[in-house]
């Protein structure tokens, strides 16, 4: 078992890193790892009894984190989706797929079971992709999650009834079914009581101890304990984990629990997808390639179309309908367990089962790229068939504007600026790439338009050449930099005000032509410091003088920070942060006796924030001569700081 895990983790490390470089979803990478190391390819790993149990824990952790996103009130609010759309989807898709299998010669009982099994979708893949795309709370995301909840209940019932149908069960189905429902209700009631009375007190006690280890341990115990209790009752472990997460969804510690669980969930979920990939025989693609292609296409087409029709009949929009169908079109991980169990009780032929498993695998492998391509396709469809007409509409709205303000990004910051402009009766026009936000804004305003602010034609349409000011309030630094560069190609003299989260791209934005760059973190620090000085009795005039000096120097005084043991040295974009580091000069230091400017530390992309001697700061303008005991305060990225320290101490670059 240890050797198998080592091979899987090492192979996954290489393949997932490659897939991230290619911007492909990790799910596909794990499936490919299972194909490569499995018996049909390199045969590095044979059949293992422990691997499926570890893999199942990945689905358990995923269902728990999804449950955290859906509290009990939200679950009750989704009852129409769970029991209405969910039951209709399983019934319609199961009938269509079961009928197709019956036409191909399967016995009625096997065709019905396999049809219902194929009607169920992949909770692991859909949940993972919806979370990574940020679409859990979108209309199609809620449809998918609601249907998946009902499908988990159906999966439990099927696994319970298969031995009975095959003649191997101890009880008839009409007694096994109410027993299963009763166990589910008992489990739900017990977890509800625990979530209301026991768990909040446990979390409060652990939080009071300020021990991250205890918090992580408690979260893991809750997940594994609920899964174990569900297993004892003969139900799906994933169902119990979801119910536990759902009942903890209203806890004050929900976000902390989710953050603690995520690393375990992702690794174990990866093992699950590896185990799925190992079940596939590559030789089948060579021997029955066209059959597998036809079966996969039929499965995706029938399920996707059926779900889209049901969602449309409920009154949802066309986009919500086809995106819901796309999310639920694949087969699920439960189907693999179903085929294995049916083969054991002689309800399914081995070769036919392998073909169905391969088609199910292909449908699961195609789902991540289809779901990731759906937002792009939705944007294209929203723009309409004639994109030029949209540009002409925006251009006509801005034709009468001159000396106006163009706002790129109409989120929190952009809207705050717009409200102040409206109060001063200053004209503006805004662009944003969130269609929902634009639609809501257009309900009360006429000057907010949908589009990517980096596009030259859109900038021309909003009249950037006639504008008085451009405000870049987008959330991503890379997008802000691209907008500034594009605008500077059209308007060399237009003032550009850029909002950023921190100072990580400050120099790049200024070099691209930004007139002013306002880092939120630094500006909030500056405002907090000004209030602190006023409360300490410093005159407002002197405080304003300090603030103006910091802003004139482009926040030079605030660049960098002392990083602690828990600090992340990378920003949100994965770029190295600017750090602050003090170098104390011993007697034998290379810099002792030399003038500060002669060391040319700026060539290493460093800023000298201060030189302190005997507790006092020396004026940098006087180019002080360094001596033993001086502390040179450097700011820059980690590698630059290390190089600067080496030069100060030993003279090495």
Q: What is the pLDDT of residue 328?
A: 93
Q: What is the pLDDT of residue 385?
A: 41
Q: How far is CA 640 from CA 435, 606, 609, 646, 653, in A?
A: 42, 6, 14, 10, 10
Q: What is the pLDDT of residue 91?
A: 93
Q: What is the pLDDT of residue 565?
A: 41
Q: What is the pLDDT of residue 38?
A: 81
Which residues are within 8 A (CB) of 39 and not within 5 positions of it... i.e. 6 or more apart? 45, 46, 47, 278, 281
Number of Cβ within 10 Å of residue 141's Cβ equals 23
Q: Hey, what are 151's tokens?
A: 């499908």
CA angle 332, 334, 335 (to 5 degrees): 75
pLDDT (tens digit per residue) in 276-308: 778 787 888 888 889 999 999 999 999 999 999
Q: How far is CA 556 from CA 380, 561, 610, in A?
A: 43, 12, 11
pLDDT (tens digit per residue) in 512-537: 889 888 887 767 777 787 878 888 88
Contact between 451 and 474 under an 8 Å Cβ cutoff? The reply is no
Q: What is the pLDDT of residue 74?
A: 56
Q: Which of 134-143, 165-174, 395-404, 624-633 has the lowest mean pLDDT?
A: 165-174
The owner of tokens 């190992």 is: 278
Give bridge partners of residue 471 from the DSSP assignment: 407, 497
The owner of tokens 């002392």 is: 562
Q: What is the pLDDT of residue 88?
A: 93
Per-residue pLDDT band at 384 (split at 50, 70, 90): very low
Q: Phi and psi dihedrals of 569, rounded to 5? A: -85, 5
Q: How far is 20 from 13, CA to CA, in rounded Å?
A: 11
Q: How far is 315 from 614, CA to CA, in rounded Å?
A: 75
Q: Phi and psi dihedrals of 294, rounded to 5? A: -65, -45
pLDDT greater than 60 at residue 397: yes
pLDDT greater than 60 at residue 558: no
Q: Hey, what are 215's tokens?
A: 């918090």
pLDDT (tens digit per residue) in 197-228: 787 788 778 877 778 788 888 878 888 888 88
Better-predicted residue by pLDDT, 129 or 382: 129
Highest-pLDDT range among 249-253, 257-261, 542-546, 572-576? 542-546
Beta-strand ranges (E) seen in 461-549 are 469-472, 496-500, 516-519
Q: What is the pLDDT of residue 283?
A: 83
Q: What is the pLDDT of residue 387?
A: 43
pLDDT (tens digit per residue) in 433-483: 776 677 667 756 668 888 888 888 888 888 999 999 999 988 888 889 989
pTM, whole model, 2 decimals?
A: 0.57
Q: What is the pLDDT of residue 70?
A: 60
Number of Cβ within 10 Å of residue 621's Cβ equals 6
For strands 516-519 and 631-636, give the pairing: unpaired
Q: How far is 393 from 451, CA to CA, in rounded Å?
A: 12
H runs (alpha helix) in 78-135: 79, 86-103, 108-119, 123-133
pLDDT (tens digit per residue) in 316-350: 888 889 999 999 999 987 787 778 778 767 778 77
Q: What is the pLDDT of residue 519?
A: 80
Contact between 548 and 567 under an 8 Å Cβ cutoff? The reply is no
Q: How far is 358 from 184, CA to CA, in rounded Å?
A: 32
Q: How far is 558 from 641, CA to CA, in rounded Å?
A: 16
pLDDT greater than 70 at residue 164: no
Which residues are within 8 A (CB) of 172 and not within 5 positions of it... i.e. 6 or more apart? 164
Cβ neighbourhood burial of 426 (10 Å; 0-12, 13-18, 19+): middle
Contact between 115 and 95 under an 8 Å Cβ cutoff? The reply is yes
Per-residue pLDDT band at 51 (split at 50, 70, 90): low
User: What radius of gyration, in Å, describes the C-alpha atoms of the chain?
Assistant: 31
* DSSP for 172-204, written as a single string: -HHHHHHHHHHHHHHHHHHHHHIIIIIHHHHHH
H runs (alpha helix) in 453-605: 456-461, 477-490, 506-512, 520-535, 540-552
Better-predicted residue by pLDDT, 569 or 148: 148
* CA-based nearest residue to 165, from 155, 179, 176: 176
Contact between 43 and 288 under an 8 Å Cβ cutoff? The reply is no
* CA-based nearest residue to 571, from 634, 513, 528, 508: 508
Mean model confidence pLDDT for the chain: 80
């Amino acid at each position: 078992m240890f050797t198998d895990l080592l091979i899987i983790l090492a192979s996954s490390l290489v393949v997932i890193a490659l897939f991230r470089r290619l911007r492909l979803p990790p799910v596909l990478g794990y499936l490919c790892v299972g194909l490569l190391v499995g018996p049909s390819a390199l045969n590095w790993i044979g059949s293992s009894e422990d691997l499926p149990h570890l893999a199942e824990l990945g689905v358990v952790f995923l269902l728990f984190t999804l449950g955290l996103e859906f509290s009990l009130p939200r679950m009750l609010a989704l009852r129409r989706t769970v029991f209405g759309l969910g039951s209709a989807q399983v019934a319609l898709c199961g009938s269509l797929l079961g009928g197709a299998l019956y036409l191909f010669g399967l016995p009625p009982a096997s065709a019905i079971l396999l049809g219902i099994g194929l009607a169920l979708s992949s909770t692991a893949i859909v949940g993972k992709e919806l979370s990574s795309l940020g679409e859990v709370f979108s209309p199609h995301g809620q449809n998918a999650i609601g249907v998946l909840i009902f499908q988990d209940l159906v999966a439990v019932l099927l696994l319970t009834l298969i031995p009975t149908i095959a003649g191997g069960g101890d009880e008839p189905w009409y007694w096994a079914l109410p027993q299963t429902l009763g166990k589910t209700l008992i489990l739900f009631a017990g977890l509800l009581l625990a979530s209301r009375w026991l768990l909040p007190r446990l979390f409060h006690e652990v939080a009071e101890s300020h021990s991250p280890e205890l918090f992580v341990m408690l979260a893991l115990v809750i997940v594994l304990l609920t899964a174990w209790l569900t297993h004892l009752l003969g139900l799906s472990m994933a169902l119990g984990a979801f119910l536990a997460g759902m009942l903890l969804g209203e806890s004050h510690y929900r976000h902390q629990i989710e953050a603690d669980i995520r690393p375990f969930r992702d690794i174990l979920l990866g093992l699950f997808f590896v185990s799925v990939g190992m079940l596939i025989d590559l030789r089948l693609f060579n021997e029955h390639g066209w059959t597998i292609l036809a079966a996969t296409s039929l499965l995706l087409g029938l399920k996707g179309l059926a779900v889209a029709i049901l969602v449309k009949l409920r009154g949802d929009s066309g986009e919500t309908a086809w995106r819901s169908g796309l999310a639920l079109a694949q087969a699920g991980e439960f189907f693999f367990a179903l085929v294995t169990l049916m083969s054991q009780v002689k309800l399914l032929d081995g070769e036919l089962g392998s073909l169905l498993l391969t088609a199910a695998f292909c449908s699961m492998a195609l789902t991540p790229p289809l779901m990731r391509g759906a937002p792009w396709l939705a944007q294209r469809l929203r723009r309409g068939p004639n994109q030029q007409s949209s540009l002409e509409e925006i251009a006509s709205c801005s034709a009468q504007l001159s000396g106006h303000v163009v706002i790129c990004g109409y989120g929190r910051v952009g809207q705050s600026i717009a409200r102040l402009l409206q109060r001063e009766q200053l004209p503006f026009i805004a662009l944003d790439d969130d269609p929902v936000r634009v639609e809501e804004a257009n309900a009360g305003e006429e000057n907010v338009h949908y589009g990517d602010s980096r596009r030259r034609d859109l900038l021309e349409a909003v009249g950037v050449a006639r504008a008085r000011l451009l405000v870049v309030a987008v959330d991503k630094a890379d997008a802000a930099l691209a907008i500034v560069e594009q605008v500077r190609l059209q308007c060399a003299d237009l003032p550009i005000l850029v909002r950023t989260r921190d100072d990580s791209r400050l120099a790049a934005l200024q070099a691209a032509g930004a007139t002013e760059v306002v880092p939120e973190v630094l500006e909030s620090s500056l405002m907090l410091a000004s209030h602190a000085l006023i409360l300490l009795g410093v005159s407002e005039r002197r405080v304003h003088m300090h603030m103006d000096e910091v802003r004139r120097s482009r926040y030079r005084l605030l660049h960098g920070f002392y990083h602690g043991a828990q600090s992340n040295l990378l920003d949100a974009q994965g770029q190295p942060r600017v750090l602050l580091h003090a170098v104390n000069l011993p007697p034998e230091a290379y810099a002792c006796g030399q003038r500060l400017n002669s060391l040319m530390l700026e060539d290493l992309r460093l800023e000298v924030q201060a030189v302190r001697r005997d507790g006092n700061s020396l004026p940098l303008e006087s180019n002080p001569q360094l001596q033993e005991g001086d502390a040179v305060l450097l700011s820059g990225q980690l590698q630059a700081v290390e190089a600067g320290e080496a030069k100060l101490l030993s003279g090495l670059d």
